[in-house]
Chains A and B, each alone.
Chain A
Amino acid sequence: MKKKKYRLYGKKKKVTFAQSLAKYFKDFGTAVSKGDKAVKLSLVLMGAGFFARKQLMKGIIISAVQLMYILLLIFWAIPNLADFGTLGTVELQMVFDPATGKNIVNDYDNSFMILISSITAILTLVVFILWYIHNIKEVYKLQLRAEQGKYINNFFDELQTYKGANFHRTLLTLPTLGIILMNILPLFVLVAVAFTNYDKDHMPPNALLSWVGFENFKTLFSSGGMSLTFGYAFGKIVSWTFVWAVVATFTCFIGGIALAVLINSQGVVLPKMWRTFFMVTIAVPQFVTLLLMRNFFRDDGIVNTLASNSGLLDFFKNIGLVKPNMSYIPFLSGGSVGWAKFMLILINIWVGVPYQMLIATGVLMNAPQDQIESARIDGASKWQIFWKIIVPYILVVQGPALITDFVRNINNFNVIYLLTQDLYITSDMKMANSSAKEVDLLVTWLFRLTNEDYNYKMASVVGIIVFIICIAFTLVSYSRLMKGNKEEDYQL
């Protein structure tokens, strides 16, 4: 029997984005055309409509903010935006100052500051226009209320709405500002830098930047000659990033479930003890274990010593896993790409499986016992119960977490960087020319590009591509996995 549903917040209508956009501008149009003098005056002085309805305080505040923004626009935004097209024209120079008799720095243009300021200015302008449109609509609504003879809020009432009907604005303002500062602004800056020539030969403030169009994207997707190897490195790194993300996600996921099932299965003595053993590895922070591992598996490290003492090295040489001229197993040093990739995955399993085991244990405990019980009564074998009931259940519950894990593994900076930095040396000159290594993920490559090569333009291009990959993957899989919006079913 299906539970009768009722919605608390009324029936939802499906509205497409285009429709809501059209409505947005239509409302603005009606407000302007049907508004009275006060509303029309608000097009110039934004507080005018409030003055006309005797909302003095609100009118003053809104007009003051408008005035302040216009001043900001004139004295800060417009001068910066004027340079946005060229990114500055006055190069940094030492000039002779007659007053002090010394050479001083001239009044130069800092291209990067112009870039950041311009983008900030554009963002504030967009916010201002949205607020402006909203304000006209608001003023028009007020006019309608006045015409209908309804009560008009005084300033105190107005403030009270920010604890009531407008509470979401009170709540969202600060977090949104933070997100704009930390996420949205950097995103736009990154996109902008991808179209400039910001690299080690053009480092503001010593040099000026200029726009180069799609030049950097062309560099990334074409590979020719020894100097232009980005395309070569990009292809190799993208494919390794995907292999890594898939293998790392699934080995940890399956390993975690297998371990949880094994510990929970019949005949295992002291399951709590075993679980604690694996939990110990979680207790040590990840960066400590990773830094430890890289020394554990050094070419002259303890594992290699033990391997050569025990004859393991010779055995590997005999079966061809280690080249005969090597006196050690090249775990992470780049002597062999295969070994390094294998070790990275292995160490990632070591790091990741205990977490997954913890999660899987919790998920298994909540598995639908009634279904399992009735399946058992119907004569299903343990194997059948596991594959037909428990596995689908785990997939449903952990599906979204699996996607998050996958995206996190695409961006798994710590594991790759801490295990290979200063340790892995690539023997491929083409890779080295674009500061890449075979074991790099897109993100670590990006970090190396900026930190070692100061190649910000290419790093930005790589960044944009990673972003697009992550978005595409998440949107596709989320829409598949989360059919329908169930958030209100539980609020009843």
Chain B
Amino acid sequence: MSEKDQNKTSGSKKMQVNVMPVRSVGVRRKRMISAVLKNVLLAILSIIWLIPILWLLVSAFNKDPGINYAHFFPSKGWTFANFINLFKSNSAVMYLRWFFNTLVIAAFTCIISTIFVFMVSYAFACCRFEGRAGLMRLSMVINMFPGVLSMIAVYFIMKSIGLTESHIGMIVVYSAGSGLGYLIVKGYMDTIPASLREAAKLEGASEFDVFKEIIFPLCRPIAVYQIISSFLIPWGDFVFAKLMLGHDVKNFTIAIGLYGMLSKENLPRYFSQFCAGGILISIPISVLFVLMQKYYVEGVTSGSTKG
């Protein structure tokens, strides 16, 4: 209580009796107003955030295959055909094929890069060898070299070994350099007590045994994060796929396939199908994201100094 209030209370008992209820009603009203305002604000923001998604959803059920310029909701009626047509391949749209292309690339990318990341993380977190700090610093600098910049050079290197326009090339592009993304997993390994490793080594375990039997099982939660996040890369990547996969529609991944559906000549015919395809692809991706979400925050903030 402030000084003013104290003066009032000591001044007269009558005033105190009168003032207290009035104040609490005022506070309650203030709280009510602020709560209402907050909820209204959230509602407005939600509407802003959901309108484009709603447009995606209603356009996916639009009977008109092209883009609807005049009305938000379909004016020519609703249909489910856009989803069905996705599974009928033609020369421009091979959704199922794209899906499996991406799935295969993602599966291999995920396996290779998870293995690479764990190998590098263990070496940096648990092994002590000459030049370790220097290598870590060097890898941080190299990691600053954005993939988009190197893509021309990567393209020509891949071309010189004959891996452009092939899915093997895409897997190499996505996974070969993945060892650089070790920071999150290494940070997790750093939190595992070294005494566990020391004890195992006293019992005669080699580093390999420690890695296989102790550290890897303990890293399972972060492994989930690593597996899912590397699995998601090929689904969202646009640049490399566009550059590497050439013009053959049946080689496309989902991302460039859907992009192609919105080219000038395709837009009037395929916009509604694009929306349907976008929604379909969201389902598996969002399931994976929800699975990963628990570790997502930890992953993003793991670069900080803990404690």
Contacts and interface: CB of A to CB of B under 8 A. Distances in A.
Given A277-B50, A397-B301, A171 B119 contact: yes
A9 interface: yes
B304 A491 contact: no
B38 A288 contact: no
B111 interface: no
Contacts of A401: 300-301, 303-304
Nearest to B174: A182
Given A285-B281, A295-B271, A190 B41 contact: no
Contacts of B305: 396, 481-484, 486
A488 B123 CA distance: 14
A443 B145 CA distance: 12
B9 interface: no
A165 B71 CA distance: 69
B175 interface: yes
B52 A187 contact: no
A175 B69 contact: no
A481 B45 CA distance: 34
Which of the listed residues B38, B68, B71 has the most CB atoms from chain A within 10 Å of its own CB?
A: B38
B282 A285 contact: yes
A254 B205 CA distance: 49
Interface residues of A, number: 109
A178 B69 CA distance: 48
A278 B49 contact: yes
A127 interface: no
Contacts of B175: 178
A285 B235 contact: yes
Interface in A332-371: 350, 354, 358-359, 361-363
Given A300-B69, A422-B264, A486-B306, A492 B285 contact: no
Nearest to A414: B238
Nearest to A413: B148
Contacts of B246: none
B55 A490 contact: no
A30 B42 CA distance: 73
B123 A171 contact: yes
B207 A167 contact: yes
Interface stretch (A98-106, A221-229, A258-266, A318-326): A258-266
Contacts of A363: 297, 301
Interface string B144-187: 11101111111011001000000000001101111110000000
A474 B42 contact: no
A1 interface: no
A181 interface: yes
B25 interface: no
A281 B53 contact: yes
A287 B157 contact: no
Interface stretch (B10-18, B77-85, B88-96, B189-197): B189-197
A50 interface: no
Interface in B57-76: 67-72
A358 B293 contact: yes
A283 interface: yes
B300 A282 contact: no
A179 B177 contact: yes
B68 A302 contact: yes
B149 A463 contact: yes
B258 A446 contact: no
B281 A288 contact: yes
Contacts of B172: 181-182
Given A181-B157, A285-B282, A467 B296 contact: no
Given A474-B144, A487-B190, 19 more contacts: A116-B160, A163-B209, A167-B207, A172-B179, A182-B177, A186-B151, A189-B156, A262-B42, A263-B42, A277-B49, A284-B286, A285-B236, A292-B56, A354-B49, A363-B297, A396-B305, A398-B300, A413-B238, A478-B140
Interface of A: 8-9, 112-113, 116, 160, 163-165, 167-168, 170-172, 174-176, 178-179, 181-187, 189-190, 193, 259, 262-263, 265-269, 274, 277-278, 280-289, 291-293, 295-296, 298, 300-302, 305-306, 350, 354, 358-359, 361-363, 396-401, 404, 407, 411, 413-414, 417-418, 422, 443, 446-447, 450-451, 456, 459-460, 463, 466-467, 470-471, 474-475, 478, 481-484, 486-492
24 contacts: A116-B160, A171-B127, A172-B123, A172-B135, A186-B157, A187-B150, A190-B150, A263-B42, A266-B31, A267-B34, A267-B35, A285-B255, A286-B236, A287-B255, A288-B282, A295-B267, A300-B69, A305-B69, A361-B297, A398-B301, A399-B304, A417-B239, A467-B145, A481-B305
Interface of B: 31-32, 34-35, 38-39, 41-42, 45-46, 48-50, 52-53, 55-56, 67-72, 116, 119-120, 122-123, 125, 127-129, 132, 135, 139-142, 144-146, 148-154, 156-157, 160, 172-173, 175-180, 190-195, 198, 206-209, 211, 235-236, 238-239, 243, 255, 258-259, 262, 264, 267, 271, 274-275, 278-279, 281-282, 285-286, 289, 293, 296-298, 300-301, 303-307
